[in-house]
Amino acid sequence: MSFTKKAVSNYAKSLFQNVNALNSVNEKFEVSTITSKSSDKSKPNVYIIGEELMLIKAVLVTSKKMNKFFSNPTYAETQKLEVISNIFPGLTVTTKSFLKVLTERSHLSLLPEVSDEFTLLLEKFKNVTSVKLVIAGALQEKSGNALLKTLKNLTGSKDIILSLSYNPKLLGGLILEYNSRAIDASILKEFSLFFNEI
């Protein structure tokens, strides 16, 4: 495991464990609170922190200028922190403290990866599995509901986050990817296996 991957994993785990230890999962998250200065969230829960990290990540990743700014080592980390604080003045104290730790260690550029890792921890906590589904044609509602029920049984998860994409080259069938596993039940695979045997 590389240093960066290990650092990202450690940051996400420590943040998750510290916030989860506060044990206040009764509060609801409002996007308006993160962008306003009047915010009173003394004990945030893992869901609120997860949402804040995802919103910050979205700003850093989707804007080319922000991405260049945060990946450029010539800008001071304190400047980068100030930009985040100006965009999101209503961040929780926990998130602000976490951002200060990243700033002190010159790791603010790792924030998108930390957000992804935190999301994975949150999915495990909520017993949710992300599944990527690639199909050749349109998915009917009846088939989709049956597929979701089957996926819940297959993964043992309470809920499924389904990412659906279309690839007409599959000719039929589907490809499932979840928890570092892949199931290729496409006609294209069957044809390729058939032609390899000839």
User: pLDDT tens across 86-125, in order?
Assistant: 999 999 999 999 999 999 999 988 999 999 999 989 888 8
57-61, 111-115, 152-156 — which is least confidently predicted? Answer: 152-156
- pTM listed for this prediction: 0.67
In the chain, the percentage of residues whose pLDDT exceeds 70 is 85
Phi, psi dihedral angles at 137 (to 5 degrees): -135, -170
CA 51 – CA 162 distance, rounded (Å)? 19
Please determine, for residue 36, whether its predicted confidence score (pLDDT) is greater than 60: no
Selection from 54, 36, 47 nearest residue 90 by Cα? 36
Please report the pLDDT score of residue 26 as a whole number: 47
| From the candidate CATH numbers 1.10.520, 1.20.1740, 3.30.750, 1.10.490, the one assigned to the domain spanning 3-123 | 1.10.520
- For residue range 128-138, what is the model confidence (pLDDT) as tens digits? 888 888 888 88
The dihedral over CA atoms of 44, 114, 164, 55, expressed in degrees to the nearest 10, equals 50
Please determine, for residue 192, whether its predicted confidence score (pLDDT) is greater than 80: no
Can you say how many angstroms the Cα of residue 73 is from the centroid of all Cα atoms in its chain? Answer: 25
Please determine, for residue 34, whether its predicted confidence score (pLDDT) is greater than 60: no
Phi, psi dihedral angles at 91 (to 5 degrees): -65, 150
- Residue 192: strand, helix, or coil: helix
- Between residues 188 and 150, the one the model is more confident about: 150
